[in-house]
Structure 1
Amino acid sequence: MRAAARRHTRRLGRRGPFLVFMGVGKVCLGASFIFTPPTAVGGLELLVHFAPLRCWAWVWIICGTVTFCCAWARFGRDGWGFVTASAPPALWAFAYSWAGLVDGYTRGLWLWAWYITSHCGVIWCASRVPPDTGSPGD
C-alpha cells in the first residue's frame, strides 16, 4: 500500500498536488453555483449579460476538471492545468473590476484584488515551480 502511494505521489511531482487541490476547489465552486445558486449576482452582471450564472458555473467545473487531470501530466505538459486554473478567477476578477469601475459596485474592486492575488497570483507563482530534480536517496 505504501509503495503504491509513494509511486502515485512521485507521479504527481512537485506541481501535481497543487493542480489536484485547485481542480477540486474549482469543481466545488462551480457546483455550488448549480446546486445552491445565489439569489443576487452582486458584481457579476457583466458575465450574466452574456450567459446565465449556471453556464459560468460549468466553466468553473470544466476548467477544474482539466486542471485536476493535468496534475498527472509530465512537467512541461502540465501547463494547461495552470492556464485552466487561472481562467475562471481571471474572468471573475475582470467582471468585478468592471462592476467596481463602471457600475459603481465598489466591493468589486476589493474582490478584483482578492481574485488577482489569492487566486491568479498564487496559480501563476505555482506555475513557476521547477520540476523534481530527484533526491540523493532515489
Structure 2
Amino acid sequence: MRTAAARWLRRHLGRRGQFLLILGIGKICWGVGFIVTPQQDPAGLSLLTDRCSLASWAWLWIIAGAVTATCAFLRIGRDGLGFYAALLPPSVWAVAYFSAVLTGEYARGGFVALWYLTSHVGVIMWASTVPEFSVPSPPRRARKGTAP
C-alpha cells in the first residue's frame, strides 16, 4: 500500500511539484530549528536581529516553506508562487550576510551569502525554468524523392 501511495504522489506532483515539496519541507525544518534551538549570538545576522528576534525571522522560513510545499500540489503554470516563496528566505539571509561583510561584522559572511545565492537562489531559479516533461523532438523522417 505504501508504494502505491508513493507512486500516486509522484505521478500527481510531477518533477516540479516534487522539487517544491522537498524544498518546502526543508524550509519548514530549517525555520523550526531556529525556534527549537535558538542561537544566542548568530554571527552575521545583526541586520535581521536588530529588527526582531531570530525566532521571528524563523517564521519567514516556516511560512515560505508552507507556501512552497502547498504550491507543489498545484498544476504547472500555477505553481509559480511556490518558487517565489522559496526564493524569499535565502535572499533575505544573503542580504544580511553581505551587509555583515560591508560593515565588518562578519568577514566570512560573503562566502555564506554566495553559498545562499548559488545553492539556494540559483538552484530555485533554475528549477523554476525546467519544464515538467523534457521530451526530445522526434527524429525527422526521410522525405520521399529521388535518391542518387
- The two structures share one fold, judged by TM-score above 0.5: yes
Instruction: Verify the 8 A CA contact 2:21 2:69 in the aligned structure 1.
Output: yes
How much has 1:133 moved relative to structure 2?
Answer: 6.2
> Which whole-Å CA distance do the structure 1 matches of 2:134 and 2:102 have between them?
46
Aligned to 1:78: 79
Measure how far apart 1:3 and its partner are: 4.6
> Residue by residue, what CA displacement relative to the aligned partner does 1:34-81 show, whole Å, maximum 9, x if unpaired?
000012121000011111111100110010011011111111111111
| Residue identity opposite 1:48 in structure 2 | T
Distance 1:69 1:62 in 2: 11
5+ residue gaps, structure 1:
none
SS in 2 for 1:13: helix
Aligned to 1:38: 39
Aligned residue for 2:111, secondary structure, equals helix
1:46 to 1:132, Cα distance in 2 relative to 1, 3 A = same
Partner of 1:50: 51
Contact 2:44 2:105 in 1 (8 A): no
Q: % of aligned pairs identical?
A: 51
Whole-angstrom distance in 2 between the partners of 1:115 and 1:88: 10
TM-score by length of 1: 0.91
Q: Find the aligned partners of 2:57 and 2:50 in 1 and give their Cα distance.
A: 11
Q: What is the correspondence of 1:9-48 to structure 2 with a 5 Å cutoff?
A: 9-48=10-49
- Tell me, in whole angstroms, the C-alpha distance in 2 between the residues paired with 1:7 and 1:22: 19
Counterpart position of 1:60: 61
Cα distance in 1 for partners of 2:108, 2:6 equals: 44
For residues 7 and 32 of structure 2, the distance between their equivalents in structure 1, rounded to whole angstroms, comes to: 31
Match of 1:128 in 2: 129
Residue identity opposite 1:128 in structure 2: T
Distance 1:133 1:43 in 2: 41
- Could you say what the CA RMSD is over the residues aligned between the two structures, in angstroms? 1.5
Counterpart residue type for residue 73 of structure 1: L
Q: Give the TM-score of the pair, scaled to structure 2.
A: 0.85
3-state DSSP class of the match of 1:127? Answer: helix
Deviation at 1:131, TM superposition (A): 2.2
Q: How many residues align?
A: 134
In structure 2, what is the equivalent of residue 5 of structure 1?
6
